[in-house]
A and B are shown apart, each in its own frame.
Chain A
Amino acid sequence: MSRVTLRGIAKSFGLVQAVKEVSLDIPDHTFVTLLGPSGCGKTTTLNLIAGLEKVTRGEILLDGISITDWAPHERGMAMVFQNYALYPHMNVYENMAFSLKLKKVPKAEIDQRVRQVAKTLEIDQLLDRRVSQLSGGQQQRVALARAMVKEPKVFLFDEPLSNLDAALRTRMRIEIKKLHQQLKTTSIFVTHDQEEAMMLSDFIAVMRDGIVVQYGPAAEIYRRPQHHYVATFIGKPRMGTIDGNLRVDTSSVNFEAKGMKLSWPRGGANMPLMDVPACLGIRAEDVRLLDTNGAASSDTFTGEVGLLEPLGSDTFVEVIRDSMNLTARVEPDRQVHVGDKVAVQLPRNKLHFFESVSGRRIDI
């Protein structure tokens, strides 16, 4: 059992509020990612959980016990750092054994644990090497091994993959995922890479300016973003958006933007009436690209192809018209050219609406 609960934690450095208020409940065995751009407070939040920084306000619980004032090593957590942070004057074995030695674990047990973990991570050949003799990928493995040897209650990862090159990063990502499936240790992972977050996490907490904008299962973050910011931050390519006005009257729902109008019957009597500036969002895979001479329906608009992004497996097509700038995903063998006149269909059940002012999701 190791459930981490954050209750309204905050951290200020002088006048700078790095973390304004973060409350999260991280269930046992889950892999949770704190996701956000640099400076959003995600690393500070992780440091607070680790005990490397003291909270200004709030409470941190581990399995229901407050650990807010505990020293870092008393919390039974292990951390993997972005720049590996291996001890340069020790070899790999000594790096891994260091924490156990401080805990006065018997020598024989240390040896057994170090060798076992080294085997799991396939670094048993490297145990005698000095840190400076290792490649970046090897260093990252050793850092991971050093954390694993401690058999922690919680793993903390601080952007551990961002110093690796693209190919290695993808491989390590898979390994971390496998490792988590195997060990099932509660893990908290910090990254600014939304793809990494989606791929690894059970839950994602999207952060901005020291607060959590949305916290939920990874799929829900992608499928039902609660905020304009989350919608555009998560997903590749970026979710297409159109600024306009949303009006719900007694009989119908209408979205109007420059040169376009969408309209459909009101869903039910409990749908609130409104008339607000709003932003429509739709993901590339939900936009349907039609030929111009296809039947014009009320949810279809014409535009011009601005840019093609062929990725091999898919092709992303940018469609431009007035205020509209959407991306549509099409089959790679589909013949589309820059400058073509095309029509796009926006299926009503795939649309997201966000209040322009607050950015909050409007459920229609």
Chain B
Amino acid sequence: MADYEIPKLKEYPVIPVLQPGVSAHLKPYVAKADFQTALNFPGELVENWEQKAIDKIGELKGKYRSLQVFLDSCVKCGACTDKCHYYLGTSDPKNMPVARQDLLRQVYRRYYTFAGKLFGKLGIPGFVGAKEMTREVLDDWYSYYHQCSQCRRCSVYCPYGIDTAEISMAAREIMDSIGVGQKYCNEIIAKVFKIGNNLGLPQPALEDTLLGLEEDVKDATGVDVKFPLDVKGAEILLVTPSADFFAEPHVDGLMGYAKVFHEAGVSWTVSSYASEAANFGMFIGSYENMRKVALRIREAALELGVKRIVFGECGHAWRVAYSFLNTLAGPFDFLDPNYPVPQHICEFTHDLIQKGKLKFDKSANDRRVMTYHDSCNVARASRMGDKPGGQFTIPREIIKAVCNNFYDMPPDTIGEATYCCGGGGGLLTDDLMELRVKGALPRMEALKHVVENNGVTHMAAICAICKSQFTKVIPYYGFKMDQIVSVHQLVSDAIVLTKQ
């Protein structure tokens, strides 16, 4: 199945013996010139790139105060070392968060600190943890900043709150600015600019797909549940990852949203212009590209004259939506202020459940014993509802409202301490499959625990990346791909449609 060793699932997590350089060969394909220039980056490695990279560090630490603080404040306490799923899965010491940070920090020290400049001139920069900007350093950056899914688990355990994700985003932006971008992310962002979504799904294909879903729901339930596209004057604009139109089990979640909207009796629409919730601009640390992607949502909302924006099940999209959308693409003063701007589909459904407006036949899910995977960007970079921790309780309360059997995985693998699926942060690409399989190890161990102890059969998620990553990698660990489900797929299976 694979020409590398699949990690063995153990009874409890074990900190692996270090194997220096063992994952240095894991690096994604470099973006071709076309994909680079579409994002306003140079097409290939620029002349004098060493100096330009150094200058870019200076620019970014000036622009983002957090970056400077993170580069200065590490005391090498080691609290983060065993917290990264990629380190646990690969054993490569450069996947320890502190070592990953140091790949950038060493260059920062050399050119932007007194000690680094002094010892650099004496020819012994390593004495103060500083290093010259060289090809070898750039290669390390390219490998190991693409072995970070920006999940921020390490930052939870850092006594200084250093966020490796921000350092990894900065490193990717520096590399993009000197012409060394990643194919997967940059090709996708270019597609959003051209067509409106990550997949490159044009309007006619989207329309055909949605009509097909209407037929399917009608066949299964006898009820006319609509999947409206580009409807002016609709109350709600649904912004969802394009994987929801395309992949499984994502599409089963989309059918769940449609049924919930149907039962709520609200008018809603998808926009073909902003047919994507994902915003890979965040993964590559590019504010300009992130803003350009986000502005499409604003334009679509204005054009369609909607009153509310609801986001579908997408982890990092919710971070961008919840934390940044207002400053990126606001103000949203044209939307109805009685509702959160924007709102998560889980908040929407949960609210209706609280009000007793949805009817469920929970036995429809009795063939499943559920657990729930907290997606990193929802867990650690956003919230839901109006209470702290709502991002943890709301999805679980939805699952419990529609399923009779639910068990959580061990507490140090969920909630704020959740492990990444292994494919987040722009790493969900076939050229990084070995990394994805190995990075899934801690989650697979936690899943195995509840499978063996509680008879869990399925794991639900609210992120398109998590769903795709798991369906692809869990067979390597002896599970079946259809054991991964969407939260709104469970809703879809249990909801009783009371309206025609």
> Is A bound to B?
no
